[in-house]
Chain A
C-alpha cells in the first residue's frame, strides 16, 4: 500500500474526525495557502491597483531587489533587529523568570500579570505611549537622563537611536510570553534534582547554570524560534514610532512590503519582498528546528 492509499484509507475509516478538523484546514487553505501561492505568483508580475491587468516579467522583480539600496537596508535592519532583540528578550526573560520563580504564589501571579499586560495591550498602544516617552523636548526618557546630567537625545530623529528606540518598544511587549513559558518550564523541573544538587553543596548560581538551564533548553529553543519569527515580522512599531526613518535607518522588510504595496501600489515588487522574507524565515526556522531535534535526540 502506498502512503496515499494509507491516507485515503484512514480518511475513509475516520471521516467524521476529519470532518471536525476540516474547518481549520479550509481556513488555512483560504487565508494562508491560497494567498501565499498567489503572492509567489504575483512576484513574477508587474502589477499595480488593477491586479487583473498585471504583466508577466519573470524574475525582474528579484533582479530589481538585488540592486535596490532601500531593500538592502531593510534586509540588514531586519536581521539586525533579530540579532539584537531575540537574544536580549530570551536573556532578560530568563533572568526575570529565575528571579520570580522562588517567590510565593501571590507574588508570582502579580509579576506574571505585570510582565504580560504590555503584550496584551499590543504594539500599537505601546508605541503611542513610547512616542511621548521618546519626545525630544518633554519626553520622560530625556527627563530621566537629564537628572543624571546626560544631554537630551533625539531618539526618533537620529541614527542609530531610532533603531534602538524601536528595539526597546518591541522588547517591552514581547517579553511577557517568554517569561510565562520559562516559568512553566521551571515549574516542570523536578524538585528532587534541585534537592540532590543542594545536598551536594551546589550554590544557587551553580544550580541555575548546571541544572535549570540545561533542563530548560526545549523551552528556550521554542522561545527562540517564536521570537525570531515575531521579530522578522516586525511592522506596527516601526509604522507607529519612526515610519522607518530617519532615512530608512529603522525600516524593516515587512514595513517595506507595506510601503511598496500600499503607498507605491507596486504589488509585484511587494510580493517579491514577501517571498524573500518567507525564505529567510524558513531558513532560520529549519536551522532552529534541526538544533531542537538534535537536542531531543
Chain B
C-alpha cells in the first residue's frame, strides 16, 4: 500500500510539472527567414523523394457553416485538399474552420499564436489577418505568386495586401455592397415613384430624404433605415455612406493619418445625423449591433439598408426556411450622393485573404507557397468568392452570376467604380484599436445634440495617436 501511494504521488508530481512546463518551447525556436525569392514551381530532382510535410490550414467559419449553394465549407475544403494531396503525396493538410466569438475576435487563432502553435496558413478577412502582420508574425508571400498571377490582380485589392514591398497577404475576394430597398413596403404605401430608377438606380441625398420621410411610420413600427454602433463589427456599414461625399476621405494613406474630421466628412456625418434627428431610423443605434438589426429587416420594419448582399442572403434563407412569408420584394440601389456629386461608387467590403505565419523550415515554407499558389488560382478563388456571396479580385476570373445580390452590385461597381470604406491603399497598423475608438465615436454620434465636428476631431486625435505608436 505504501509503495503504491509513493508511486502515485511521484506520478502526480511529474505529470503536474510536465503539464506546467510543456507549452512554451515552440515559441522559443529561432525563426529562419525564408529565401527572398524562392520560385514557386521549384522542381525537385526525381531521384529525391520529397520530405513529408504537414501544413496546418485554418479558415474562418464555424462548424456547419455553408457556402451560398448550401455545400458545407468543410466538405468543400476536404474534397479540394484530397485532390491536392493526391497530386502532392508528401503533403498532408491539417484543416480546420475557426469561428469568431460574439465580438468578432479570433480567440482561437490568438490563443494558438500565444501558445506558439499558430496555423501555417490562415484565411480570414484582411483586418483580422493584418493584426498578425502588425507584430511581424507573417511571411512575405511574394514568392508564392508568379508574374502572371501578379499581373492578374486588381491593383487596388493587391495594394491593400502590402506593407511597402512586403506582400503579407493575398486577397481572394471582395464584397461589393450597395443599398437594399424593401420594395414591398414602398408598394404597400403607394410610394414606389420615390425610388431610384434603372439602369443606374442612383439618387441624391435630397431625393433619399424625401423618400425616407414618406415611408417612415414609427407608429406602425416601420422605419426608413437603421444604423448600428454597439460594437466594432461591420463599421463599414456606416462608412459606406461616405461614398456619396467624394471629398471625404476616412484615411489619408499618403500622410498615414486619419482625416475623417475634414469639412467634407463633417458634411456627410451631419447629413446622417439629420436622419437621426428626424426620427427616420430604428431608435437606439448606439446599442444595436449587426445581429440585433437583422430582425428589423426580416420582419419588414425597415425599408432601406446598406450591406445589400448581406440582407439579400438572410432574406433568401428566411424564405427558404419558411419563417419569412412573401411578399418580400426588394431591389438594389446606389447610396445617395450629395447634389452635384457623381453617382456614388459601390462600397467594397473587407476582402478575405490568405496569410502565412512565420516558418522555421524552408522546405515546408516552399510547400506552403505552392499550396497558396494553388488556392489563389482563378477557379478556386472564384469558388471561394461565390461561396461567400462575394466576387473574385483576379481580373482573369470567369465570373458570371444570375443572382441580383451579386450581379447588380458588380455591374454597378464596373460602371461607377468601387469605394473602399476605409483605405484605398493599405491598412495602417493597430486597426483593431482604431475600430474600438471608432465604435465609441459612433455610439456618441447617435445621441441627441451630438457635436459632429468635436466627435470626429476627438476620434482623429485618438486614432492618429494609435497610428503614431505603431512599431
Contact = CB atoms under 8 A, between A and B. Distances in A.
A245 B105 contact: no
Interface stretch (A150-158, A198-206, A208-216, A277-285): A150-158
A264 B432 contact: yes
B446 A48 contact: no
A191 interface: no
Interface in B8-31: 8-9, 12-13, 16, 19-20, 24, 27-28
B136 to A, nearest CB: 8
A2 interface: no
Contacts of B387: none
A1 interface: no
Interface string B267-285: 0000000000000001111
A33 to B, nearest CB: 10
A19 B301 contact: no
Contacts of B16: 26, 29-30
Contact of A265 (B110, B230, B285, B441): B110
B443 A263 contact: no
Given A26-B16, A263-B105, A265-B135, A246 B432 contact: no
B24 to A, nearest CB: 7
B413 interface: no
B12 A22 contact: yes
B440 interface: yes
Contact of A52 (B8, B24, B105, B230): B24
B132 interface: yes
Given A51-B27, A264-B433, A247 B116 contact: no
Interface stretch (A114-122, A222-230, A236-244, A288-296): A236-244
A34 B286 CA distance: 40
Contacts of B105: 262-263
Interface residues of B, number: 50
B292 A157 contact: no
Contact of B287 (A19, A246, A265): A246
B451 to A, nearest CB: 13
Contact of B440 (A48, A247, A267): A247
B5 interface: yes
A267 B292 CA distance: 31
B283 A154 contact: yes
A246 B447 contact: yes
B432 A263 contact: yes
B19 A30 contact: yes
Contacts of B284: 136-137, 154-158
B275 to A, nearest CB: 15
A242 B287 contact: yes
Contact of A30 (B20, B131, B288): B20
A209 B405 CA distance: 69
A108 interface: no
What is the interface residue range for chain A against chain B?
A: 35 or more
A138 B221 contact: yes
Contact of B110 (A16, A131, A247, A262): A262
Contact of A50 (B131, B137, B230): B137
Contacts of A131: 292
Nearest to B466: A264
Contacts of A41: none
A138 B302 CA distance: 13
Contacts of B110: 49, 262, 265
B107 A136 contact: no
A252 interface: no
Contacts of A61: none
A288 to B, nearest CB: 33
B109 to A, nearest CB: 9
A162 B446 CA distance: 14
A271 to B, nearest CB: 12
B296 interface: yes
A172 interface: no
Contact of A19 (B5, B19, B286, B432): B5
A245 B288 contact: no
Interface in A153-173: 154-158, 162
B454 to A, nearest CB: 13
A142 B243 CA distance: 36
A60 interface: no
B331 interface: no
Nearest to B282: A137
Contacts of A155: 284, 287
Given A52-B28, A157-B446, A259-B436, A26 B287 contact: no
Contacts of B131: 265
B459 to A, nearest CB: 11
B289 interface: yes
Residue with the greatest number of chain A CB neighbours at <10 A, chosen from B116, B284, B285, B288: B284
A239 to B, nearest CB: 7
Residue with the greatest number of chain B CB neighbours at <10 A, chosen from A30, A34, A49, A136: A49
Contact of B301 (A23, A34, A51, A137): A137
Nearest to B118: A49
B172 interface: no
B113 interface: yes
Contacts of B9: 19, 22
Nearest to B291: A131
A16 B432 CA distance: 53
Contacts of B166: none
Interface string A253-283: 0000001001111010000000000000000
Given A157-B286, A246-B286, A248-B440, 4 more contacts: A245-B440, A262-B107, A263-B103, A264-B430
A-B pairs, top 4 by smallest CB distance, nearest first, are A156-B287, A157-B287, A246-B443, A136-B284
Interface of B: 5, 8-9, 12-13, 16, 19-20, 24, 27-28, 102-103, 105, 107, 110, 113-114, 116, 131-132, 135, 137, 221, 229-232, 282-289, 292, 296, 301, 430, 432-433, 436, 439-441, 443-444, 446-447
